[in-house]
Amino acid sequence: MPQTANKSAPALYRIGEVAKMAGVSRQVVSTYCMLGLLAEVARMPGGQRLFDDATVRRIQLIQDLKHRYTLREIREIFLRDRF
């Protein structure tokens, strides 16, 4: 279930929800975070990471780019082009 503070705030999702929406495993999301390809939007009081809809789109972009580039190259592209 998405977490929202109010109606105008964007929906926030736990790692498992984002993984399911993007069609990848939780481990993939964690790995992308560890490599600096993704950043959490917020954290729950218990420490759970929260992500937004843009994270889902970014994961899908990474998955598409993986057909042509390594994760290291993708990270360099993101840093260079400020994705």
Number of domains in the chain: 1
* pLDDT attached to residue 77: 93
Query: Is residue 7 included in any domain, yes or no?
Result: no
What tokens does 65 get? 């780019």
User: What's 53's domain CATH number?
Assistant: 1.10.1660.10
Q: The pTM is what?
A: 0.84
pLDDT at 56 exceeding the cut of 90: yes
Going through 1-83 in order, the beta strands assigned E by DSSP cover 13-14, 42-43, 49-51
Domain enclosing residue 50, as ranges:
13-81
Query: What is d(CA 47, CA 16) in angstroms, rounded to the nearest whole number?
Result: 14
Query: Is residue 4 included in any domain, yes or no?
Result: no
pLDDT digits (tens, 9 = 90+) for 18-54: 999 999 999 999 999 999 999 999 999 999 999 999 9
* pLDDT attached to residue 1: 55
Query: Is residue 66 included in any domain, yes or no?
Result: yes
Q: What is the mean pLDDT of residues 50-63?
A: 96
* pLDDT attached to residue 7: 62
Query: Is residue 64 included in any domain, yes or no?
Result: yes
First to last CA, the chain: 27
Query: Is residue 50 included in any domain, yes or no?
Result: yes
Between 67 and 7, the higher pLDDT residue? 67
